[in-house]
Amino acid sequence: MAANVSGPNAADISGLDYPTTMVFVAGFDPLKDWQKRYYDWLRKSGKEATLIEYPNMIHAFYLFPELPEASQLIMQVKDFIGKQLCKD
């Protein structure tokens, strides 16, 4: 079963206290279009979201520590979380 939270029957989240979101998209991920639509939906709903694309990567590339991009993604997540904690 799959969930499409940002599809045509999506709930209106514009009034919710929704957390700032970071969306990563790998260029060779078969789900990349869904991920980009999710990002677009967040932005259209007035939510703060950041899109980071890795055009030459595959789905779940961050699971392969030998890829330099995996370390880069982990550092971006670390920095993102640090910034969110400083907001509070």
Average pLDDT, stretch 19-33? 97
Whether 1 has a pLDDT exceeding 60, the answer reads no
CA 61 to chain CA centroid, Å, is 14
What does the radius of gyration of the chain's CA atoms come to, in whole angstroms?
A: 14
Domain annotation covers residue 11: no
Domain annotation covers residue 36: yes
Domain annotation covers residue 7: no
DSSP tag of 42:
H
Residues 6+ apart with CB under 8 A from 63: 70
Domain annotation covers residue 13: no
Closest to 51 in 3D by CA, of 76, 75, 30 = 76
The domain containing residue 26 runs over which residues?
21-87
Whether 88 has a pLDDT exceeding 80, the answer reads no
Domain annotation covers residue 58: yes
Q: How many domains does the chain have?
A: 1
Please write the tens of the pLDDT for every residue from 32-67.
999 999 999 999 999 999 999 999 999 999 999 999
Domain annotation covers residue 45: yes
- Main-chain dihedrals φ then ψ at residue 24, nearest 5 degrees: -105, 140
What is the rounded CA–CA span in Å between residue 24 and residue 35? 8
Task: Tell me what pLDDT residue 3 has.
Answer: 75
